[in-house]
Amino acid sequence: MDSTSADFTPHGKHLIAGEWVAGDATFASEPAHGKAFDYAVGTPALVNSACVAAEDAFWSYGYTTAAARADFLDTIADEIEARGPQITAIGTSESGLPAARLEGERGRTTGQLRLFASHIRKGDYLDRRHDAALPDRQPLPRPDMVMIQRPIGPVAVFGASNFPLAFSTAGGDTAAALAAGCPVVVKGHSAHPGTGEIIAEAIHAAIEKCGMHPGVFSLIQGGKRDVGQALVQHPLIKAVGFTGSLAGGRALFDLCAQRPEPIPFFGELGSVNPMFVLPAALAARGAAIGKGWAGSLTMGAGQFCTNPGIAVVPKGAEGDAFVAAAIEALSKVGPQVMLTDGIATAYKDGKARFDGRNAVKSLLCNDDEGRHASPNLFETDADSYLQDHGLGEEVFGPLGLVVRVADADEMETLAKGFEGQLTATIHMDDSDTDAARRLLPILERKAGRVLVNGFPTGVEVAGAMVHGGPYPASTNFGATSVGTLSIRRFLRPVCYQNVPAALLPA
């Protein structure tokens, strides 16, 4: 492919074990701008073909060296970068995201592939442990025992709507599974099928260059619920990675649990990411925090899973100044294109949940047509929030809720009332330390990542990152979908007792 050209015409086929496969039924993409294309519709039969090929691939790929898999990940990154202009062109057309955002996301995608490659080369991810034999121990000798993490088998990955690259075809779940030694079957998201196709081409090229089994990766486009159901319930699939809605994720999670052989479902589902503004910080820089919150709330039209949808702010004049600054900043943000028509409709429906509630005050109201969304801001008090579960449900888009509290005790009570979150943020100054110390034990039980004096919409791909949290933020509170620890989701420990060294995994 000519890397200097941005021309890319999708062929609209699935990639099943190295073969591009068409289908009888097709669906048309719904781009934000530009030309629509037709894509083959996925079927349970294609799911079966992909899963059988993935299981066949596992017998070789699951036993490759870490160095070989690392080279494979690096080659995928190279192939994605070689298609950079084409990826940006089709990605911006389908999603409506600006070119700079897609280029940054492409860098994040290739960066995490290379980070995982470097990480597995070191071998620490295997958590190897050795208890040497004690043949003379009384009253019984101890055998020689070696423990090592081993790949679990084929993994299903569902592409995400809001990250066409970093959380989709070759995104974090796929990269982590491949790093662990697990073949992957991806169900592409219908919001960006062309982007999925060109990334699949890059992976396919890397498979051929590295001499991997073609079943190590398959992409199934489109399809109705029966395709997703067939994928998570296929007996050869051993784990599922998912980023999406609470309703959709919970349905798939239940299907995984109901299988004859239940499997882990690593779902990132929903989060409002509360932000707590403590008194001294509010007095010193409340307006600046309010302005910064508005920027984080509307970044990417609010279509981030870490979007800080709720600000907990003390009552009084200083809290009023925070709110005024947020309103002023939000008022300057015009309509933004959302990822799909369906997401735009869901945003409007979410806003409607707040309209007309007696205990909720509208601070900024905007109504948009079509696929656009403008900021909306509401306010309530702690008692009303705790009594109305609907106020804590995620609205995917640039909608914010300010919850006013009377004092530190009410702030703590409110914090205890939150459900599980991906993130929780504290804004504080030095004189807020005692209040923050009381709040922190609550927040670390509620969230996978706790921030101080920042905004959660930036998620670093690093060894210490945790992108997960108690339900409903995710379905497995002990896992992360971002960072090197995410590889561990697709491994399981095996103890080898008195096994000769020549037989142990490399």
Number of H helices, E strands in the chain: 14, 21
Amino acid at 54: A
H-type helices in 332-447, by residue range?
341-354, 382-387, 408-417, 433-446
Q: Which amino acid is it at 57?
A: A
252 with 401: CB under 8 angstroms?
Answer: no
Q: Could you say which of 79, 94, 105, 268 is catalytic?
A: 268
Task: Tabulate helix, strand, coil % of the chain (nearest 5).
Answer: 45, 20, 35
CB atoms within 10 A of CB 365: 13
Backbone phi and psi for residue 448, each to the nearest 5 degrees, phi listed first: -80, -20
**Pick from 84, 73, 74: nearest CA to 107:** 84
Pairing of strands 129-131, 275-277: unpaired
Give the Cα separation of 158 and 178 in Å (integer): 15
Treating both helix axes as pointing N-terminal to C-terminal, what angle do 246-258 and 225-233 enclose, rounded to 10 degrees? 40
Cα Rg of the chain, angstroms? 24
Q: Which amino acid is at 1?
A: M
Q: Which of 141, 142, 240, 185 is nearest to 48 (CA)?
A: 185
3-state class of 362 per DSSP? strand
Instruction: Give the separation between CA 314 and CA 59, rounded to whole angstroms.
Output: 59
Q: Catalytic site residue 268? A: yes
Q: Give all strands (DSSP E) within 22-98, no chain letters.
A: 26-28, 38-40
In the set 305, 318, 394, 410, the catalytic residue is: 305
- Cα separation, 43 vs 39, whole angstroms: 13
Choose among 227, 166, 231, 229: nearest CA to 192. Answer: 166
Both structure tokens of 87? 């990826």
d(Cα 192, Cα 179) in Å, to the nearest integer? 25
Say which residue the tokens 């486009």 belong to: 221
Residue from 59, 48, 62 nearest 17 by CA: 48
What does residue 14 show for φ and ψ, rounded to 5 degrees? -80, 155
- Residue 38: strand pairing partners: 28
Q: Which residues pair with 27 in a beta bridge?
A: 39
* Residues near 457 by beta carbon (within 8 Å), at least 6 away in sequence: 296, 299, 300, 304, 306, 307, 308
Single out the residue of 245, 320, 305, 314 nearest to residue 273, CA to CA: 305
Specify whether 182 is catalytic: no
Catalytically annotated residues: 268, 305
